[in-house]
Structure 1
């Protein structure tokens, strides 16, 4: 059965002092999903379990992202998380501190309707 993407939300998050890519990614995901409300499930009597959620986070060092930990933060659906190269690292020239910036795309898919 084919699927249809019915929502995509984008978010941004950062970790200013710990250079923690997972923390920055979690904040980006939270930023994306906290702006979403999908009343369609209740309106149509659909189960959230039918939804597949695909999360892509972009950071400068994707291998430092704990995708399993991020997966546990997703509230609904059958989810998957992958980290890719993206985002941005910004170094404070005075202190040398690196600010980690992550971007996230949260996509939701349902089986094709009708």
Structure 2
């Protein structure tokens, strides 16, 4: 099925003490969510389950990410989450600060006859 991307949001999160890549990635996803709203569902009377959500998180150790835990944080749509190499590990006073980046993209099937509700 052909899709069209509705939104792309970026976020950044970190874990200051504990070097927890999943925690930093969750915070990056939450940061991206805080920058977006999708009123189109109410305006077009579309159910949220028709949306596909693609999340990409970037950290220095992608294998350390719990992808299922991240998927569970996504409130709507059919989620696909992947981890890639990126982000930063910042040494600070004997600890490592983990910085994660996230991209959250929302896709809908092509709507050829969109009609706004009154």
TM bin, normalised by shorter chain, reads over 0.9
Report the TM-score when normalising by structure 1.
0.96
Tell me, in whole angstroms, the C-alpha distance in 1 between the residues paired with 2:34 and 2:78: 18
Residue 91 of structure 2 aligns with which residue?
Answer: 91
Gaps in structure 1 of 5+ consecutive residues: none
| Deviation, structure 1 residue 6 | 0.8
Tell me, in whole angstroms, the C-alpha distance in 2 between the residues paired with 1:45 and 1:71: 25
The runs of at least 4 consecutive aligned structure 1 residues that moved more than 4 Å come to none
Residue 107 of structure 1 aligns with which residue?
Answer: 105
Tell me, in whole angstroms, the C-alpha distance in 2 between the residues paired with 1:30 and 1:9: 10
Tell me, in whole angstroms, the C-alpha distance in 2 between the residues paired with 1:42 and 1:63: 38
Q: Any idea what SS the aligned residue of 2:30 has?
A: helix
Report the TM-score when normalising by structure 2.
0.93
Residue 77 of structure 1 aligns with which residue?
Answer: 77
| Deviation, structure 1 residue 4 | 0.6
| Deviation, structure 1 residue 112 | 1.1
